Structure 1
Amino acid sequence: MNLTPAVVLLLTLVSVCAAQVVSLPFSTARRVPWQHKSVGKMLEPPRPLRESLHRPIKHFSKPYQKPIRDFRINATTRDIKLENYFNKLYCGSIHIGTPEQDFFVALDTETPITWVPSIHSPSKPKFHLFTRTSKPYNNESSSTYTPNGRPFGVDYGPGQVSGYCSQDNVVIGGATVNNQVFGEAIIKPKMFEDSINDGILGMGFGGSNTGKEISLFDNMVNQGLLPAPVFSTYFNRYGSNGPDSMLTLGGTNPKYYTGDFTYVDLSRPDRWQFEIDRIQVSNDLLVSCWNQCQAVVDSSSSVIIGPSFEVDRLNRRLGATPLERDPKLYTFERSQLKSLPDLEFVVNGKKLIMTGEDYANQIPGPHPNQYFSGIVGKRFDSEETPVWILGLSFLRTYYTQFDKGNRRIGFAKAATFPKKFFQLPHWGHTAADS
């Protein structure tokens, strides 16, 4: 029996203040695989490019390096405005080179590498309805370009993006980051060819751990463009009457959260990963975490992902029913939505509560009165450490502070706003400066 378009969509999608602010518009569009992807790394030459592109991807291993330069006293916090595209991904405009070349990139808190398509890629420029034709980066057109040539690669599960590094000026949120190293993508899997965004804005922890290239965020800190090595995210719900989604660089913005932050130290030196004490449903213990539960926050995943056995028990306890044709997917009846129990992640002794509206994915199921659960199981290899991936359904519920200087993450309840009946997405480039 054929899967419905909604099921196919979910399977595809389950794998970007007291100080002055500057805005960069974003929107969600890239289809990213639900599978956990490895953290990308700038790979070492001097092998020929063709040979290097097929070299296995490695994880960062060195501890976080403190910024080379002290923070400037007059640096400002920068609010990067985001636009929501159907609650699936959040993308926006950056500008590279002199004169500036515009790119629509997806915010990714798991990958530290920023990359855009290269003019040397065999892929043809793509056209997107309503707004624009995508153009690849042309280093020959930029007077500030400096060759680098170091190969890079990022594994996205069903495919790998690979190419070589280049160095140029990058403008984000009105700030110019000089001599930034980024990836020029030569090879991209089909999921990137079919999506509206050109590349990735990498906000993963890695960055300077390579000892070679420094991430865009770290360079902003090093060049005195930010007051502190902190960034924060607010992801609104599609159709909300509230403000746009927001990536705040250099601090937090109280407009987008309520109450105090719950902080937890990172459990790894190269990733936004931390420990969960336990997982509960309305105070009933479901996952004890006696052997430690590890979790990462990942803006490239639209849902919450966990070990299959635990996710099955969790979904059943929440009142979801397995889909007959694909038992790893669960659905809720429309009539259940207002009475679903709370899902509770206990972190550093504090409950992070998600209501049914938070974890019941608003993707129509196989029948008009059904909705998919936003919690999906994954089978981990025997050598893998199971990791819970807290994707956008979690990140929309909690305003998240990524504190690289103190190696911790903070969670505060996201501000809520009334919903609109319907809202068309904003596709394409818009002005970055406020």
Structure 2
Amino acid sequence: MRSLSLIAAIALVGSTVSAAPRQVNKTTNNNNGVLHSINMAYVDGQYILPINVGTPGQGPINVILDTGSDLSWVPGPGACEDCISEYKPCASSTAVKDGDEPVFVDYGDGQCVTVDKYKDVLSLHGADDLKFQSFPVGAASAIAGFEPGSTVGYFGLGNPDALDAIRCAVQIEADVSGGKKKRQVNNGSGDIGSRRRPPRRGHRISERWDDVESAVLTIGIDHTAYRGDLYYFNLPASEADCENRSIFWRTALTSVSLKDEHTCKLLSQSYAKFATGTRAISGPPVHTDMLHAKFDASYNPSENRYEFQCSKLDSIPELEFRFENYQINLPAKVWTAQVDPSDTSRTCKCYTHIQRASDESKEWTLGTIVLDEFYQAWEQSTLRVGLGYLVDGSDNGATITNIQ
């Protein structure tokens, strides 16, 4: 479910664990609202973020930026043989143990981790002067199921304490600057922006050029990166509204359908999670099964995906998510792909990026297959997520519509 990036692929954008990522681009343009800009690799639908942990800083350690998780962790001493970078809490003068019991997390597909929790200083590589104090981060003591040479670790942007640490660091830097940077970043709010960049030409492979993909994370919202206005999705009022999970970054969901023709009857207080840590869309099996039955797609348990005849692709309606104020529509070409791109036969198979999740949850996850179509504003200051049309976005036909 979470296929992870190979080091060779990350090297194409200069952000590997064996080579320092590109330096941060600092801007003094007060119009775009950005204090720091961090270049990220983009591999297999995931944003790869370089971080440093501890005092003195240990890193850079490449981790997956995951807005859908409240846990940040990196490999600890001896956690895995193939981990190139690791975090040693005993070597950090600012590391403080956060609880006595380790945390076990199962990511599915055989990927799991056991983590000892700490609070320590964390910074984004390239913006090392912006230090997040008492940032909740775990040192993994046991890691299983991750591919050799893959990026191992997560930066969980769904943790309120982590968001507070970011906000405080931005506030301090804004105050020290005498107000100039404070004006740039919404009065030092610590709001964050992210987006996928358009592919650019990279290395020549045989008779073709390999496209290099990347993404960017900004401290402050880059108002020059999107067209028109942002469409804002309010976060739940409390954790009770999202099954006692973190309210970051979730919002109420009223329906899921194939262009109004086949609507899932969602449970009361269903909600969606915006998650950069996965490429896929996922939802309760009773609903994902129903949607796929409408175009005769069958579930392949060995691949954890739904498959169908590619000949039916043109007849599949748009996938529609309805929220309190807006709806997002995605043409089938956005959330489907061919099993074997080289197969040109009339019987070739396709699959969807919609997966089964827990049948006990009211949660739908919208991964980067959705988020990559838009600019993303993660606004802790106003407790909402903003999505907007990218200035340099694709022509895939994904839309956001006001339904008030």
- Per the normalisation by structure 2, the TM-score is 0.70
Partner of 1:93: 50
In structure 2, relative to structure 1, the CA distance for the partners of 1:334 and 1:416 (3 Å cut) is farther
Deviation at 1:266, TM superposition (A): 1.1
In structure 2, relative to structure 1, the CA distance for the partners of 1:168 and 1:260 (3 Å cut) is closer
**Residue 350 of structure 2, aligned match among 359, 371, 385:** 371
**Residue 204 of structure 1, aligned match among 138, 158, 164:** 158
- The question of whether the paired residues in 1 share the 8 Å contact of 2:277 and 2:367 is answered with yes
1:220 correspondence with 2:196? no
**Residue 76 of structure 2, aligned match among 104, 113, 118:** 118
1:137 correspondence with 2:102? no
In structure 2, relative to structure 1, the CA distance for the partners of 1:377 and 1:139 (3 Å cut) is closer
- The question of whether the paired residues in 2 share the 8 Å contact of 1:177 and 1:219 is answered with no
- The question of whether the paired residues in 2 share the 8 Å contact of 1:279 and 1:345 is answered with yes
Partner of 1:347: 323
In structure 2, relative to structure 1, the CA distance for the partners of 1:403 and 1:110 (3 Å cut) is same
Partner of 1:82: 40
Partner of 1:106: 64
1:155-170 superposed matches below 5 A: 155-158=105-108, 159-168=112-121, 170=123
Partner of 1:296: 273
In structure 2, relative to structure 1, the CA distance for the partners of 1:220 and 1:367 (3 Å cut) is farther
Partner of 2:378: 402
1:27-426 superposed matches below 5 A: 76-87=34-45, 89-96=46-53, 97-98=55-56, 101-119=59-77, 121-126=78-83, 134-139=84-89, 145-151=93-99, 153=103, 155-158=105-108, 159-168=112-121, 170-174=123-127, 175-177=129-131, 179-192=133-146, 194=148, 196-207=150-161, 216-224=165-173, 227-236=188-197, 244-255=214-225, 257-267=226-236, 268-269=238-239, 270-271=246-247, 272-289=249-266, 291-317=268-294, 319=295, 321-323=297-299, 329-338=305-314, 340-361=316-337, 364=340, 369-381=348-360, 385-414=361-390, 415-417=392-394
- Mapped partners of 1:344, 1:242: distance in 2: 30
- Mapped partners of 1:25, 1:203: distance in 2: 23
Amino acid at match of 2:160: G
Aligned residue-pair number: 333
- Mapped partners of 1:186, 1:398: distance in 2: 33
SS of 1:176's equivalent in the other structure is coil
- The question of whether the paired residues in 2 share the 8 Å contact of 1:118 and 1:185 is answered with yes
Gaps of 5+ in 2: 5-12, 18-32, 175-184, 202-210, 240-245, 397-404
- The question of whether the paired residues in 2 share the 8 Å contact of 1:105 and 1:200 is answered with yes
Deviation at 1:184, TM superposition (A): 4.4
Amino acid at match of 1:111: S
Deviation string, structure 1 residues 47-104 (Cα, Å, up to 9, x no partner): xxxxxxxxxxxxxxxxxxxxxxxxxxxx9532222222132x2213122343653211
Deviation at 1:122, TM superposition (A): 4.8
Deviation at 1:286, TM superposition (A): 0.9
- Root mean square deviation of aligned Cα: 3.6
- Mapped partners of 2:383, 2:14: distance in 1: 28
Amino acid at match of 2:283: G
- Mapped partners of 1:398, 1:190: distance in 2: 33
Deviation string, structure 1 residues 329-375 (Cα, Å, up to 9, x no partner): 32244444455321111223322111112111455499773222111
- The question of whether the paired residues in 2 share the 8 Å contact of 1:98 and 1:169 is answered with no
- Mapped partners of 1:218, 1:154: distance in 2: 28
More deviation in 185-194 or 344-353? 185-194
State percent identity of aligned pairs: 17
In structure 2, relative to structure 1, the CA distance for the partners of 1:312 and 1:206 (3 Å cut) is same
Amino acid at match of 1:90: Y
SS of 1:341's equivalent in the other structure is coil
In structure 2, relative to structure 1, the CA distance for the partners of 1:203 and 1:328 (3 Å cut) is closer
In structure 2, relative to structure 1, the CA distance for the partners of 1:356 and 1:153 (3 Å cut) is same
SS of 1:221's equivalent in the other structure is helix
Amino acid at match of 1:94: I
- The question of whether the paired residues in 2 share the 8 Å contact of 1:294 and 1:386 is answered with yes
- Mapped partners of 1:320, 1:83: distance in 2: 36
- Mapped partners of 1:148, 1:251: distance in 2: 32
SS of 1:156's equivalent in the other structure is strand
- Mapped partners of 1:323, 1:379: distance in 2: 15
- The question of whether the paired residues in 1 share the 8 Å contact of 2:118 and 2:138 is answered with yes
Q: Which gives a bigger RCO, structure 1 or 2 (Cα 8 Å, sep 6+)?
A: 1
Amino acid at match of 1:109: T
Deviation string, structure 1 residues 259-291 (Cα, Å, up to 9, x no partner): 432212111453211112222322325124472
- Mapped partners of 1:180, 1:386: distance in 2: 32
In structure 2, relative to structure 1, the CA distance for the partners of 1:264 and 1:316 (3 Å cut) is same
In structure 2, relative to structure 1, the CA distance for the partners of 1:357 and 1:188 (3 Å cut) is farther
- The question of whether the paired residues in 1 share the 8 Å contact of 2:51 and 2:122 is answered with no
- Mapped partners of 2:42, 2:91: distance in 1: 32
SS of 1:204's equivalent in the other structure is coil
1:18-29 superposed matches below 5 A: none
- Mapped partners of 1:325, 1:166: distance in 2: 39
- Mapped partners of 2:68, 2:146: distance in 1: 17
SS of 1:399's equivalent in the other structure is strand
- Mapped partners of 2:80, 2:71: distance in 1: 21
- Mapped partners of 2:164, 2:15: distance in 1: 20
- The question of whether the paired residues in 1 share the 8 Å contact of 2:192 and 2:379 is answered with yes
